[in-house]
Amino acid sequence: MRLRTDFKYALIDEYYTYWDAFDNLPEFYSTLHAVDETVFKYTISKTEKCTATTGCVQRKLYSQNEMWIVYYHNDRKVLEVIDNASSSEMVEPLADKRFGVRSTIVETDQFQLT
């Protein structure tokens, strides 16, 4: 998968499950939001924070079991401030429904998926 290169950095929130398979992005995204209100609030809040500071957000179905929400920005510090998926209050409700989340900040010009 290729990331946009018109921004210097990308924060990738990877949501995954091995108990269900999804054929389309809206189905995966809505299933995540249905897990718990904290998941909905978290993703909306993070999207608003990124876009309010001239960033960009994209959602991608990476595989049947993985969805990436990618937050793009030219300032790494902005992404570091909103990078808290692994320690947020949504982790437990997601785990209860057999979903996981992990985050990574990468430089878009050096990112290569192997």
Is 99 part of any domain? yes
| Confidence band, pLDDT 50/70/90 cuts, at residue 85 | confident
pLDDT at 46: 94
Task: Tell whether the model's pLDDT for residue 79 goes beyond 60.
Answer: yes
| Confidence band, pLDDT 50/70/90 cuts, at residue 112 | low
Is 113 part of any domain? no
Task: Tell whether the model's pLDDT for residue 38 goes beyond 70.
Answer: yes
Residue 21 sits in a domain whose CATH number is: 3.30.70
Contact 54, 108 (CB under 8 A): no
Is 63 part of any domain? yes
Task: Tell whether the model's pLDDT for residue 113 goes beyond 80.
Answer: no
Range of the domain at 52: 9-107
Is 4 part of any domain? no
Task: Tell whether the model's pLDDT for residue 114 goes beyond 50.
Answer: no
Please count the structural domains in the chain: 1
Is 114 part of any domain? no
SS3 content of the chain, % helix, strand, coil (to 5): 40, 30, 35
Is 77 part of any domain? yes
Query: pTM of the entire structure?
Result: 0.91
Residue 109's alpha-carbon distances to 5, 56, 88, in angstroms, are 6, 16, 29
Residues 4-29: tens digit of each pLDDT: 989 999 999 999 999 989 999 999 99
Average pLDDT over residues 88-96: 92
What does pLDDT average to over the chain?
A: 92
Task: Find residue 81's DSSP bridge partners.
Answer: none
